């Protein structure tokens, strides 16, 4: 039997995603304005923004003229302009054009929704554009960003067990997001990488790195493969794109993709670059992506099929017997120890 969906699946993709997300917002507001207020502010919370979406009822309040009307029903004016992206496309001129949708609202928010969290570099570009636009147009537009996954989590957080209709609604929205590739299974995925001669350095520095132009899928964990087995697993806590200039002995480029770098981390990356050149003849000037973990945990997840691995593999933990989502990296490493796998 075919499931009945709240959200249509067949249309031009970006328009369909925007329409379905707005439909989700609208249905919640119709169901409960109070829950909608909690929901929208939970999305904006990490961006230090807050909207008052409620209607105010006041009696015998004196006006600026000194007169006292019998009663007042009012609401703060606000406008949230939404830009939906599916592949983290960057287009500042397009964003600048969207800002003309604002007028003289009390609260003005430009909300960016994407599959992946926005990068710090692009967020700064948008905020710089907003500063210039606000100065020239007398507006006070604030920027906020979220992901489809965060929308689903925030929606579920404000529901109660008896909100059956809204629970069914968000369940279908989540299914739509998964079917459309809008939510990565990153929390249950291990990026398995071949280390070989660099295994000991990776363990020592709690890192892994590869050329910056090599593609990658966002994952929560990284697994170090050596000698026919995954030998260590760690939770990714930071990602940095960096290119070193030997002449200046400093970075030609440096960008935090995940987390915020300290001076210690920057010095560590320099040390790793010079060490890898001395030990393995890796070119120091190569642009690289560095993955940092909080700790590598020893394991031995044995590959039974012939040969090693060519390139990166992804291990879906949800397919591993005994795995539970609440497990941490150490528990996952222990679960896999002594187990076997074929082709990922």
64-111: pLDDT as tens digits: 667 777 788 878 889 999 999 887 778 888 999 999 999 989 999 999
Q: Please choose, from the candidates 153, 146, 74, 147, the residue with its C-alpha nearest in 3D space to the C-alpha of residue 106.
A: 74
pLDDT in tens, 227-275: 999 999 999 999 999 999 989 999 999 999 999 999 999 999 999 999 9
In this prediction the pTM is: 0.56
The angle, 0 to 180 degrees and rounded to 10, between the axes of the packed helices 148-157 and 13-31 is: 10
Domains by residue range for the chain, with CATH: 13-179 (no CATH), 186-341 (2.30.130)
- 139, 108 in Cβ contact below 8 A? yes
**DSSP one-letter code for 163:** -
Instruction: Report the b/e string of 273-300 with b at 16+ CB within 10 A.
Output: beebbeeeebeeebebbbbbbeebbebb
pLDDT for the residue 2: 39
Distance in angstroms (rounded) separating the CA atoms of residues 204 and 290: 14
Distance in angstroms (rounded) separating the CA atoms of residues 193 and 211: 13
Distance in angstroms (rounded) separating the CA atoms of residues 318 and 189: 8
The angle, 0 to 180 degrees and rounded to 10, between the axes of the packed helices 33-45 and 148-157 is: 130
């Amino acid at each position: 039997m075919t499931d009945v969906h709240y959200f249509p699946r067949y249309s031009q993709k970006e328009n369909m995603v925007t329409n379905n997300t707005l439909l989700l917002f609208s249905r919640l507001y119709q169901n409960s304005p109070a829950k909608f207020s909690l929901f929208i502010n939970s999305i904006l919370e990490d961006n230090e923004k807050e909207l008052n979406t409620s209607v105010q009822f006041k009696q015998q309040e004196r006006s600026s003229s000194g007169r006292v009307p019998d009663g007042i029903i009012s609401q703060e004016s606000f406008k949230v302009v939404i830009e939906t992206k599916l592949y983290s496309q960057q287009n500042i001129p397009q964003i600048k054009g969207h800002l003309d949708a604002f007028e003289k609202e009390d609260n003005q928010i430009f909300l960016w929704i994407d599959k992946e969290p926005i990068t710090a570099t692009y967020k700064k570009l948008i905020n710089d554009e907003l500063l210039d636009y606000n100065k020239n147009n007398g507006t006070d537009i604030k920027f906020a960003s979220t992901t489809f996954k965060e929308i689903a989590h925030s929606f579920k957080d404000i529901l109660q067990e008896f909100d059956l209709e809204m629970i069914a609604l968000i369940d279908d929205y989540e299914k739509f997001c998964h079917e459309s590739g809008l939510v990565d299974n990153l929390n249950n995925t291990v990026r398995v990488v071949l280390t070989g001669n660099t295994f000991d350095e990776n363990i020592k520095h709690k890192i892994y790195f590869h050329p910056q132009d090599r593609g990658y899928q966002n994952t929560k964990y990284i697994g170090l493969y050596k000698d026919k087995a995954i030998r260590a697993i760690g939770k990714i806590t930071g990602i940095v794109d960096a290119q070193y200039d030997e002449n200046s002995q400093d970075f030609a480029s440096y960008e935090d993709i995940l987390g915020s770098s300290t001076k210690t981390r920057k010095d560590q990356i320099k040390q790793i670059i010079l060490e890898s050149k001395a030990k393995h003849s890796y070119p120091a000037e190569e642009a690289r992506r560095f993955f940092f973990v909080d700790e590598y945990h020893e394991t031995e997840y044995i590959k039974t099929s012939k040969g090693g691995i060519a390139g990166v593999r992804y291990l879906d933990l949800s397919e591993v017997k005994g795995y539970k989502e609440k497990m941490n990296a150490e528990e996952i490493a222990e679960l896999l120890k002594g187990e076997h796998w074929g082709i990922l």
